[in-house]
Amino acid sequence: MIKKEMIAMLLAGGQGSRLGVLTSKVAKPAVAFGGKYRIIDFPLSNCINSGVDTVGVLTQYQPLRLNTHIGIGIPWDLDRNIGGVTVLPPYEKMDSTEWYTGTANAIMQNIDYMDSYNPDYILILSGDHIYKMDYEVMLDFHKQNKADVTIAVMPVPWEEASRFGIMVTDEQRRIVDFQEKPATPESNLASMGIYIFNWKTLKEALLANADRPNLDFGMHIIPYCREKEYPLYAYEFNGYWKDVGTLYSYWQANMELVDIVPDFNLYEEYWKIYTNSKAMPPQYLSSDSEIEKSIISGGSEIYGKIYNSVIGSRVTIGRNTVVRDSIIMDDTVIGADCELEKVIIAENVKVGDQVRMGVGEETENETCPNIYNHGLCTIGEKSVIPDGVTIGKNVCISGLTSPEDYPDEKLLSGKTMIKAGD
Amino acid sequence: MRAIGIILAGGNNHGLRALSQKRAVGAMPIAGSYRAIDFVLSSMTNSKVQKVGVFTQYNAGSLNKHLSSSKWWDFGRKQGGLFVFTPTITADNGFWYRGTADAIYQNLEFLKNSHEPYVIIASADCVYKLDFNKVLEYHIDKKADITVVCKDMPKNVNVERYGTLKMNEESRIEEFEEKPLIARSNTISCGIYIIRRHQLIDMVEKCVGEERYDLVRDILIRYKDMKHIYGYKIKDYWSNIATVEDYFRTNMDFLKAETREYFFKEYPEVYSKVADLPPAKFNKGAQVKNSLVASGCIINGSVEDSVIFREAYIGNNCIIKNSIILNDVYIGDNTRIENCIIESRGTMRANSYYIGEDGIKVVVEKNDRYVI
């Protein structure tokens, strides 16, 4: 009989609406990060580096890019005779049909998948964090404590603790209480959304709560396990871990990669991060180019000046264009004589010549101030920006735009322009 | 595709001087992130050749590592595949490959067990893109026994290290000389041949029976009046890398926009083993002009008119000019390098100085590297 000690279930179905236009066509885990990578590469690489070779990826929102990226798992060595990576979308059943209505609900709808590997432990992961973590060490901790559930936590500054799900533990790291976004936190250990369950416990908890709407780990399953007085432990993680759930945190995490020795170092031979990419030509830097504090991925051609930025694969940056503090994703073409500052440009965008972005006063965004803020200018994938326009801060643009969309060749700070269709 | 492929990657090469001590020519790194054999393998897979044999002998370590999986070139199939043949001692044979024809002879079963009617023979030391379907079409059209892919070299190029040939109006080859002392034509053989499989089997068996072992000398040249041997001229980019000077020039060609356009952007593309390296990183103080920089590099100094291969580290205040830095080279602070090829995995100490005074200098440095 097939036997896997631990298999991973990776929750990759969420929209990630706080990334705004970046996730209008792709699920959050498929959003590019750090030039050539996508967010899901980090948990997938962690799995294979930790010796977890069976991973179910639960998809729901806009799965096309995610599915093509994962394929049969070759880049992560997850193409296995037994196990490997399996994409698990919601499916129709004999008597009922439902979407994945919550994190735990999605896992519950795939009990058969997990059962087929006869596992002792289930590792629950989410597809929206940037970190390197050895899940095997966490499993050792789980076994040593004879825990039923282990929750990975990390210490956060006390003043920020009220933004997180906080675990209160005793000296043995056994969880005695938890508080969801508490006004007065009793601990600064924040849950990272990474759980190890004994399979028996998880299955029992899922089935006992099957009828709850929007079944969720944090809201229902963990409280249920605590009520039943199952041993719950907190595994403290002290490495780099970044939630890239908002545009600003996403931008910040990218910017941290260009530091001299970044906290999150992609250049170590140990614990490599894998991604689905073809063999890329090297990047070409022309005689007029200037590059400082930046990372640039394969196949890009740089004729302009780049400071403090993260550039994806096969990007072209025109002559005399200046790019500062920005993220530019794969296959985007930027014309000549442009000035871009604090912009996030998604894949396959065409920016004309003499375009200025991220200029002027900072004004609150008119439609979604909670998404487009901190002065960032965000351009959705496959957008077109015509020659000679000036675009402000806290702006969002998506779609094919033409000069008529820019009165006086300007789009002021705080504007949102979403053009439907192609 | 009605042909199988044979890639001759076995020979030693003195033209590459110290660079060939480490690897066979087919494994020479090209254009920042490729190896020489990628070009012929990609041309074959793009021409839908499904079954390819690579014959290796000399110093094949790097090459075998590069070919460890056939999936990069899409050869990992049930039908066909990528096969590497090294010389083995058998009950009937105890020799190394005594020549190119002998290499084929020793692996004749590979030919006999195939069903495709034609064979494409090519070497692993040239940089080009070629649609073999067109060559095969021409071969069939001409009712040729053997078709030789050839190219007119510019007048100022010294062709004495190539095979040179002359064709008549019908493109039949009338003269063929290998490494002539004085060349009588500037049309050279590109080392790519198409031949009917049964014809090749017969010729190779006969040839080795007469204790002749070389494909060019003992088959092409010897049979040129008896068999119908035709030339197929190519006009696109083709370059052989078998000398230090040609290797250097070929890499530098990729600094030209049209070469990059042709190889990197035009369909079909060139494939290589994926290295899973992070993007190249440019720190404060980096100054890069007219250069190629591959993934995994960390640049702190100044680089001009150069090709930097994967995972190179260039320290603060370094000046690199008109040079090729191969994979995983570490260059300490304040080092100056001009007109050099730095062998892979070398470690250049800080404050050192390497200048190619007359011509290109090949630098092989085996200093200790201290990495935290």
Q: Convert the pLDDT of each residue in A251-277 to its tens digit.
A: 999 999 998 888 888 888 889 999 998
Q: Convert the pLDDT of each residue in B304-331 to its tens digit.
A: 999 999 999 999 999 999 999 999 999 9
CA–CA distance, A249 with A244 (Å, rounded to integer)? 5
Q: How far is B103 from chain A (nearest CA, A)?
A: 31
Q: Do A293 and B293 count as a contact with CB atoms less than 8 A apart?
A: no
How many degrees, rounded to 5, is the angle at CA A140 between CA A138 and CA A144? 120
8-state DSSP, B63: H
Question: Taking an 8 Å Cβ-Cβ cutoff, which residues of chain B contact chain A?
Answer: 31-34, 38, 71-72, 255, 260, 263-264, 269-276, 278-296, 298, 307-309
The DSSP bridge partners found for residue B363 are B342
B262-281 burial, b at 16+ Cβ within 10 Å, e below that, comes to: bbbeeeeebbbbbbbbbbbb
CA–CA distance, A137 with A238 (Å, rounded to integer)? 13
DSSP letters, B3-42, are: EEEEEE-----STTGGGGGTS-GGG-EETTTEEHHHHHHH
Letter for the amino acid at B66?
H
CA–CA distance, A10 with A113 (Å, rounded to integer)? 13
pLDDT of the residue at A279: 84
pLDDT of the residue at A309: 97
Question: Would the pLDDT of A113 be above 80?
Answer: yes
A284 → closest Cβ in B279, B283, B292: B292
pLDDT of the residue at A163: 84
B172-190 burial, b at 16+ Cβ within 10 Å, e below that, comes to: ebeebbeebeebebbbbbb
Average pLDDT over residues A357-386: 95
Q: Do B276 and A296 count as a contact with CB atoms less than 8 A apart?
A: no
Q: How far is A220 from chain B (nearest CA, A)?
A: 40
- CB < 8 Å to A279, chain B: 33-34, 38, 72, 270-275
In this prediction, residue A63 has a pLDDT band, given cuts at 50, 70 and 90, of very high
pLDDT of the residue at B259: 97
- CB < 8 Å to A34, chain B: 278-279
- CB < 8 Å to B291, chain A: 284-285
Question: Would the pLDDT of A288 be above 70?
Answer: yes
Residues of chain B with pLDDT under 70: 371-372
Beta strands at A189-198 and A165-169: parallel, antiparallel or unpaired? antiparallel
Letter for the amino acid at A308?
N
Task: Give the CA distances from residue A74 to residues A52, A78, A276, B298, B329, in Å, rounded to whole numbers and listed in that order.
Answer: 15, 6, 8, 27, 29
Determine contact, residues B7/B40, Cβ cutoff 8 Å. yes
Question: Would the pLDDT of A51 be above 90?
Answer: yes
Q: Convert the pLDDT of each residue in A210-263 to its tens digit.
A: 999 999 999 999 999 999 999 999 999 999 999 898 999 999 999 999 988 888
pLDDT of the residue at A421: 58
Determine contact, residues A21/A418, Cβ cutoff 8 Å. yes
Kindly give, in sequence order, each residue whose CB lies less than 8 Å from that of residue B272, ignoring residues fewer than 6 positions away.
A279, B33, B34, B35, B38, B72
The DSSP bridge partners found for residue B355 are B338
Percent of chain A with pLDDT over 70: 99
Q: Do B307 and A258 count as a contact with CB atoms less than 8 A apart?
A: no
pLDDT of the residue at A181: 85
B289 → closest Cβ in A266, A289, A293: A289
Asked if the C-beta of A273 comes within 8 angstroms of chain B's C-beta atoms, the answer is yes
pLDDT of the residue at B91: 82
Which residue stretches of A32-133 are H helix? 41-49, 64-70, 103-108, 111-115
Average pLDDT over residues A150-161: 93
Kindly give, in sequence order, each residue whose CB lies less than 8 Å from that of residue A46, ignoring residues fewer than 6 positions away.
A131, A132, A133, A134, A135
- CB < 8 Å to A35, chain B: 278-279
- Which residue in B54, B64, B75 sits closest to B8, CA to CA? B54
Consecutive H or E run containing B141: helix B132-141
Q: How far is B290 from chain A (nearest CA, A)?
A: 4
Rg (CA), chain B: 22
Q: Do A294 and B281 count as a contact with CB atoms less than 8 A apart?
A: yes
Chain A (30-49) residues lying within 8 Å, Cβ to Cβ, of chain B? 34-36
CA–CA distance, A380 with B142 (Å, rounded to integer)? 55
Q: Do A298 and B279 count as a contact with CB atoms less than 8 A apart?
A: yes
Distance of CA B146 to the CA centre of its chain: 22
CA–CA distance, B281 with B313 (Å, rounded to integer)? 10
Please give the structure tokens belonging to residue A238. Answer: 């002290």
CA–CA distance, B142 with B134 (Å, rounded to integer)? 12
Q: Do B31 and A282 count as a contact with CB atoms less than 8 A apart?
A: yes
In this prediction, residue A304 has a pLDDT band, given cuts at 50, 70 and 90, of very high
pLDDT of the residue at A277: 87
Please give the structure tokens belonging to residue B150. Answer: 């050839």
C-beta neighbour count of A180 within 10 angstroms:
11
DSSP letters, A388-404, are: T-EE-SS-EEESB--GG
Kindly give, in sequence order, each residue whose CB lies less than 8 Å from that of residue B72, ignoring residues fewer than 6 positions away.
A279, B271, B272, B273, B274
In this prediction, residue A97 has a pLDDT band, given cuts at 50, 70 and 90, of confident
Which residue stretches of A132-179 are H helix? 135-144
pLDDT of the residue at B21: 87
Task: Give the CA distances from residue A407 to residues A142, A257, A402, A412, in Å, rounded to whole numbers and listed in that order.
Answer: 61, 37, 11, 10
Distance of CA A245 to the CA centre of its chain: 7
Question: Would the pLDDT of A422 be above 50?
Answer: no
Task: Choose from A286, A291, A297, A303 for mutation: most chain B CBs within 10 A.
Answer: A291
Q: Calculate the CA dihedral of residues A95, A99, A103, A105 and round it to 10 degrees.
A: -10
Beta strands at B347-348 and B330-331: parallel, antiparallel or unpaired? parallel
Q: How far is B308 from chain A (nearest CA, A)?
A: 9
Residue B171, sorted as left (phi over 0), alpha (psi -120 to 50) or beta, turns out to be left
- Which residue in B53, B54, B57, B60 sits closest to B98, CA to CA? B57
Asked if the C-beta of A291 comes within 8 angstroms of chain B's C-beta atoms, the answer is yes
The answer to which of A111-125, A368-382, B77-91 has the lowest mean pLDDT is: B77-91
pTM of the model: 0.92
B282 → closest Cβ in A36, A280, A292: A292
- Which residue in B9, B65, B87 sits closest to B41, CA to CA? B9
Q: How far is B67 from chain A (nearest CA, A)?
A: 14
CA–CA distance, B271 with B83 (Å, rounded to integer)? 17
CA–CA distance, B170 with B143 (Å, rounded to integer)? 12
Q: How far is A314 from chain B (nearest CA, A)?
A: 9
Consecutive H or E run containing A130: strand A129-131
Q: Do A283 and B269 count as a contact with CB atoms less than 8 A apart?
A: no
